[in-house]
Amino acid sequence: MNSLTNKVAVITGGAKGIGKATALRFAQEGANLIIWDLDREKGLALLQELEKFGGKYSFLELDISDFEGVQKAAEEVKIEFGKIDILINNAGILKDATLLKMTEEQFEKVIDINLKGCFNCTKAVAPYMIENKYGRIVQASSIVGLYGNFGQTNYVASKAGVIGMTKVWARELGPKGITVNAIAPGFIATEMVDTIPENIIQSATEKVPLRRMGSPEEVANLYLFLASDQASYITGAVISIDGGAVF
């Protein structure tokens, strides 16, 4: 039997990049999936790819910074699928600028999606996990949330905040049978990295002991482990997946 057979998993930002790789990996392991993403075209295209695995899958175009919308979406998942076992808080955006050049809009937008969005989704989904006395919540932080990074005040603040919330929720939800963990990816070859100048990418990868960027599939494997029962005694952890990179 596959490790996620009959599990119901919600993946935010699941239409592309790491989220898409995670959806495909989870489907391969027998999970039924709900994808929440703003990219409708890629989300619907992913549903077609998932069909070959034979599970039950749905996509919803959703802005996770809107709590009422997220709460309604979670209710719909419960009605359609009967439960929610796994939440992957993967959605995130970049709007980089140095402190003196960063606008209020740039700061707030990243916080709204990366941090508030994580709060919204967890708050909306957690009651259904508590009801079943079972849950796996895994959320995307970043190595910059641990070490900081030039020109990323907003992104670093959001990812450091995710780490803090992970540790709080692990304490609050652990007695309810729910584990809460975070992953901290380094440089991963996704569409988000495509916005970074080539010289910066080259300089960054030269500092990585493995001398390369990671793949979305490698991150998906870590999400899978933490979402599975193999990680049943791991909670409140922040696991780096960065090829050994340090800032």
Which residues are annotated as catalytic? 155
Task: Cite the beta strand spans of 46-100 per DSSP E.
Answer: 57-61, 86-89
- Residue 220: HSE in the Cβ half-sphere, 13 Å Cα cutoff: 22
Instruction: Give CA–CA dist 177/12, Å, rounded.
Output: 22
- Partner residues linked to 185 by β-bridges: 241
Which stretch of DSSP H or E encloses residue 59? Answer: strand 57-61
Instruction: Give CA–CA dist 102/201, Å, rounded.
Output: 22
Instruction: Give CA–CA dist 165/201, Å, rounded.
Output: 30
Which amino acid, one-letter code, is at 162? Answer: V
8-state DSSP, 210: T
Instruction: Give CA–CA dist 83/104, Å, rounded.
Output: 39
